[in-house]
């Protein structure tokens, strides 16, 4: 499918394919948004490049997804905004089901701190080099990652072990 890119995105994609030829996996569009998927080991370099050379200074959101039953099960999507040219770019990386780990981008965009904690909390994807990798919503004593597809929506009492929430009992 032919891509319809504006000038900024075209420059960015050209720059990326020049500089990171081996690392760029795919560029595609869906409902008007542009997605770029890269190799996970080049994440920080690409991040720095996008921030320094193409003004993608504003990281608004990080979303994790569970591609259940596919290879490279977890996908993390970085929602980047170029304020100078009013453009949005979604950067994707994937990681394996076994021991999912990615490099942190909180060194590039400090706002990634809490957003990565949220991905960790929900999917169990760990971020190497993260300054404070704790769960953000759920307590540390909770052993599961609830947004993984195998986690049930409805609980059956006693089916999984949950941390104690009443102060007076053990």
Helix H or strand E segment including 35 = strand 33-38
Helix H or strand E segment including 91 = strand 87-95
Confirm or reject binding of residue 110 to another protein (CB under 8 A): yes
Q: Which of 40, 106 has the CB closer to another protein? A: 106
Site mask for another protein (CB under 8 A), range 45-74, x = bound: ------------xxxxx-xxxx--------
Alpha-carbon span 85 to 34, nearest angstrom: 15
30-to-6, 11, 34 alpha-carbon distances in Å:
15, 19, 7
Alpha-carbon span 103 to 101, nearest angstrom: 7
Q: Which of 39, 118 has the CB closer to another protein? A: 118
Q: Taking a C-beta distance cutoff of 8 angstroms, is the pair 135, 81 a contact?
A: no
Of residues 8, 90, 144, 162, which one binds another protein by CB under 8 A?
90
Q: Which of 41, 141 has the CB closer to another protein? A: 141
Confirm or reject binding of residue 122 to another protein (CB under 8 A): yes
Of residues 48, 128, 137, 160, which one binds another protein by CB under 8 A?
137
Please tell me the count of residues contacting another protein according to CB under 8 A: 46
Confirm or reject binding of residue 7 to another protein (CB under 8 A): no
Alpha-carbon span 50 to 132, nearest angstrom: 25
Alpha-carbon span 49 to 63, nearest angstrom: 21
Confirm or reject binding of residue 155 to another protein (CB under 8 A): no
Confirm or reject binding of residue 159 to another protein (CB under 8 A): no
Candidates 10-18, 41-49, 94-102, 104-112: pick the segment binding another protein (CB under 8 A): 104-112
């Amino acid at each position: 499918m032919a891509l319809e890119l504006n000038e900024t995105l075209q420059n960015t994609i050209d720059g990326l394919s020049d500089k990171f030829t081996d690392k760029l996996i795919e560029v595609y569009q869906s409902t008007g948004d542009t997605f770029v998927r890269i190799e996970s080991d080049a994440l920080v370099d690409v991040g720095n490049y996008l921030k320094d050379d193409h003004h993608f200074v504003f990281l608004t959101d990080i979303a994790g997804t569970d591609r259940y039953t596919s290879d490279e099960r977890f996908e993390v999507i970085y929602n980047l905004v170029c304020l100078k040219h009013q453009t949005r770019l979604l950067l994707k990386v994937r990681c394996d089901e076994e021991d999912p780990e990615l490099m942190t981008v909180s060194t590039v965009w400090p706002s990634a701190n809490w957003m990565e904690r949220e991905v960790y909390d929900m999917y169990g994807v760990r971020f190497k080099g993260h300054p404070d990798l704790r769960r953000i919503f759920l307590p540390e004593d909770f052993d599961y990652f609830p947004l993984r597809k195998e986690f049930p929506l409805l609980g059956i009492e006693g089916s999984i072990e949950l941390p104690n929430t009443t102060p007076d009992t053990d």
